[in-house]
Structure 1
Amino acid sequence: MKSIFTLVLAIFSFSMMGQVNDMTTSLYDSYSKYKEPSLDKRRIKHEDIQPLILKLKNNPSYTVQKVGESIKGKDINLISVGTGAVNVFLWSQMHGDEPTATQAIFDIFNFLNSNDFKAEKKELLSKLTVHFMPMLNPDGAEVFTRRNALGIDINRDALMLQSPEGQVLKRIRDSLDADFGFNLHDQSTYYNAERTPKPATISYLAPAYNYEKDINDVRGNAMKVIVFMNSIIQKYAPGQVGRYNDDFEPRAFGDNIQKWGTSAILIESGGYKNDVEKQEIRKLNFVSILSACYTIANGNYKNISIDDYEKIPQNDRKLFDLKIERFTHNLLGKDYILDIGINHLEVQDKNYDSFYNVGSIVEKGDLSTFYGYETVDATGYRLIEGKVYPETIQTMKDLEAMDIYELLKSGYTYVRLADFSQKDKDVSLPINILDKDQKVPGFYVNIGNNPNFVLQKDGSVDYAVVNGFLIDLKTEESNFKNAIFYGK
């Protein structure tokens, strides 16, 4: 009799899991209907989400409460929906420069407010009460920085509770005594799934609650939900899911929330090729969070083996924006075969609304165990430092009329401009600009230098690297964003 019951339970669980899989496939395919259009860039601020929160406050399906203030007096809100006995608590942007999940939360509200999937949403919200705290660190978001106005990392304040934002998080967690908690973050785009060239687009963690990394029911339930989310995301970003390091951090909120009895799940948004604003990753957050809510509501996560949690590849940090392999470089009359890794630093504008890129060589030598979003096999190519075009160009209009690609093929990665009044450093054309009397910046293939060079083979310049961006001169294809104005 027991074996028959087990078989029936397994068939039922498989059927339920299949239903949720079908649901999330539909969500992914129809996502554009729910994407909140006013939050289309990463650099979102407190004022950007206030009109959206006000709409929810005027919707009787939601309870919107001001639950605290940031150091600089910005409201922190808790938005609740549903009538179920199981409490799910999600908080985002604890770090001000990690907004991807905040955007996804407002997409989820649009989904909940739509006329689609009525039966599924009714079931979900009758079993769960879901509480959202978007943008826990609005002061950090204002200047797109990790820390709060006190200069501390809120995620390392779970014990001292010196930040008002951390105090709010602790108080709400305790008052809800939530069954599940989702700690929503962004991680570096340079993480990859261990021993693969694929970025860790989404990474998960069921934080440890002690140094021994014990697994009780609370942590085990978090692991099971993560296994389910991973199975969903693998359909859309195969091989691009990582597992965050679970070393116990006694000061961190995730670790302590697990310890306090809420099944804590960390979701980290990493990198995705050609997705600088993380809009595809935002979509994956939307699907991941909703799929988690559905498996919690149906309870089918309980039948998932936690052994599959350890099968998710660990996060590694072996990615560059650009990796150039095995080029020849001459130093003091001798040839060397080298690899270099190049990344792009985002430099904020004065209002923290936008940014420009500054390329930098971050590693050099044997990089055979590293990977790149873009990789060039430069075997047989010589790396030659970019030259300055010998004539001074009068105006930007004159420069725009020139064939920039021909200049690059001739080895020129800099021009002098007599009249250039641009306030910011970024340049839209794929060539760097110098003042008329300025000397070319020294390059050399050294770590920390801004990379501007060409790759030459058999007398032909086939590739240029301008401000760290690769330009294929044979096809004129590139992922170029901006060059640099080296003004005084």
Structure 2
Amino acid sequence: MDLEQLFIQNKEKTIQGRYITLDSIEPILNRFDIKNDVKIIGNSVLGKPIYSYVKGSGKTKIFLWSQMHGNESTTTKALFDFINLLNNGSDLANQLLTSFTFYCIPMLNPDGAKLYTRANANNIDLNRDSQNLTQPESKILRAVFDEFKPNYCFNLHDQRTIFGVADTGKPATVSFLAPSYNEEREVNESRLKAINLIASINEVLQKYIPGQIGRFDDSFNINCIGDTFQFLGVPTILFEAGHFPNDYEREETRKFVFMALVSGFIILSENDIVSNINDKYLNIPQNNVVFFDFMYKNVKINYDGIEIITNFVAQYKEELIENKINFNAYIVEVGDLEGYYGHFEYDAKEALYKDDLKNIPIENQKANFNFDEKIFFVNGALIK
């Protein structure tokens, strides 16, 4: 199957980029609400509707939710791409719809999505509220879980650009986790089902992004929703959409999340999972914090008349300004930085650093500078 072509055919073209809000998705949901498939299942802290989309008649029940963190929108886009596939009338769509019943919450945290924040309007991280259930959004998610009684849960998130695949120097474009169900991180029947499915999806994705798939840390935290659902005996899979080179809008990453969803459900529907492949799962390298957005090497800096050669790095802050996400680069660290990588790297070859301030890179300073007054960088990027 040509997953690339399948993505192109089913991509939801009305949404793109990083800033995906309730206003972005309501027209799509209205389009799909043909047979009462779309419902309002509750409201956010600020009274915004939280929607569900239910499709399929199969006995295996799949529960998927996205944008639990409001600024993590890549999987929301991929989820709508997948919903398009379910509605395209193809043989594959029919196969999936007769095998599964899909219960989707495309945007659990509409307030955080509007504000482009991780937390909800009460400044609570919903992914740390699975036990206390203090927030309306957390209560809605748990109520659906209890009523729907899924056979599998898909917990859809984004991860920052700082994550790489172990120490390979490759970004973690997509990462997965079969969360632990206890402090000892043991593998029971439920967790093994999630492990086996992830290992199978990984084999498919390696054909498209070899070496760019990571495995998230599996330390147990019962306050996290994935750990809770795994503890309650439902195989749960964490998706983390990460960085693909030169793809800060995450349109390429979106494609790989779509591929992961489609291939996973095909594998499940055809009962094509190899049993007990824990070793293949553990062979997926762990995520590691090894990346910065920009790295500048072998830079000459003049400290009070003493010249040294060093390195420094800059990182984007994603700032919401007038309903648009602005990527603003700031210097974050100066030093040896051994073992770290930049998504963009530049070797200054001992050229002298200069800027409009103190002529030394300072943490939290905007990344506008030059080398030898010949090579200029604005917002971290080389000006050619």
Fold in common (TM above 0.5):
yes
2:25 aligned with 1:46, yes or no? no
1:468 aligned to which of 364, 380, 384? 380
2:360 aligned with 1:448, yes or no? no
Match of 1:367 in 2: 337
Matched residue of 1:300: which SS?
coil
Give me the whole-angstrom Cα distance separating, in 2, the residues matched to 1:96 and 1:451: 27
Q: CA deviation at 1:304?
A: 5.5
The answer on whether the counterparts of 2:40 and 2:52 sit within 8 Å (CA) in structure 1 is yes
Matched residue pairs, number?
Answer: 384
Match of 1:166 in 2: 138
CA RMSD for the aligned pairs?
Answer: 1.6
Give me the whole-angstrom Cα distance separating, in 2, the residues matched to 1:41 and 1:326: 34
* One-letter amino acid of the counterpart of residue 224, structure 2: A
Matched residue of 2:316: which SS?
strand
1:253 aligned to which of 225, 241, 248? 225
Between stretches 167-176 and 121-130, larger displacement belongs to 121-130
The answer on whether the counterparts of 1:221 and 1:302 sit within 8 Å (CA) in structure 2 is no
Q: How does 1:393-412 map to 2 (within 5 A)?
A: none
Q: CA deviation at 1:230?
A: 1.2
The answer on whether the counterparts of 2:368 and 2:377 sit within 8 Å (CA) in structure 1 is yes
Match of 1:189 in 2: 161
State the Cα deviation string for residues 377-399 of structure 1 (Å, max 9, x = none).
Answer: 233x222313xxxxxxxxxxxxx
Matched residue of 2:63: which SS?
strand
2:103 aligned with 1:131, yes or no? yes
- The 3 A distance-change label for structure 1 pair 147 and 111 is same
Match of 1:98 in 2: 72
Give me the whole-angstrom Cα distance separating, in 2, the residues matched to 1:208 and 1:385: 49
Runs of 4 or more above 4 Å deviation: none
The answer on whether the counterparts of 2:63 and 2:103 sit within 8 Å (CA) in structure 1 is yes
User: TM-score, normalised to structure 2's length?
Assistant: 0.96
2:84 aligned with 1:114, yes or no? no
* One-letter amino acid of the counterpart of residue 336, structure 2: D
State the Cα deviation string for residues 145-196 of structure 1 (Å, max 9, x = none).
Answer: 1111111011111111011110111111111211110000011011111102
Structure 2: runs of 5+ lacking an equivalent:
none
Q: CA deviation at 1:129?
A: 1.1
* One-letter amino acid of the counterpart of residue 52, structure 2: L
1:81 aligned to which of 23, 30, 55? 55
2:358 aligned with 1:358, yes or no? no
The answer on whether the counterparts of 1:385 and 1:452 sit within 8 Å (CA) in structure 2 is no
- The 3 A distance-change label for structure 1 pair 451 and 74 is closer
Matched residue of 1:382: which SS?
coil
Matched residue of 2:37: which SS?
strand
2:152 aligned with 1:152, yes or no? no
Match of 1:293 in 2: 265
* Percent of matched pairs sharing the same residue: 36
* One-letter amino acid of the counterpart of residue 242, structure 1: G
Matched residue of 1:285: which SS?
helix
Give me the whole-angstrom Cα distance separating, in 1, the residues matched to 2:102 and 2:325: 35
1:266 aligned to which of 232, 238, 241? 238
* One-letter amino acid of the counterpart of residue 118, structure 2: R
Q: CA deviation at 1:324?
A: 1.2
Q: CA deviation at 1:443?
A: 4.6
Give me the whole-angstrom Cα distance separating, in 1, the residues matched to 2:325 and 2:176: 28
Q: CA deviation at 1:371?
A: 0.5
Give me the whole-angstrom Cα distance separating, in 1, the residues matched to 2:368 and 2:28: 44
* One-letter amino acid of the counterpart of residue 275, structure 1: D
Q: CA deviation at 1:285?
A: 0.9
Match of 1:219 in 2: 191
Q: CA deviation at 1:76?
A: 1.5
Structure 1: runs of 5+ lacking an equivalent:
1-22, 387-439, 477-488
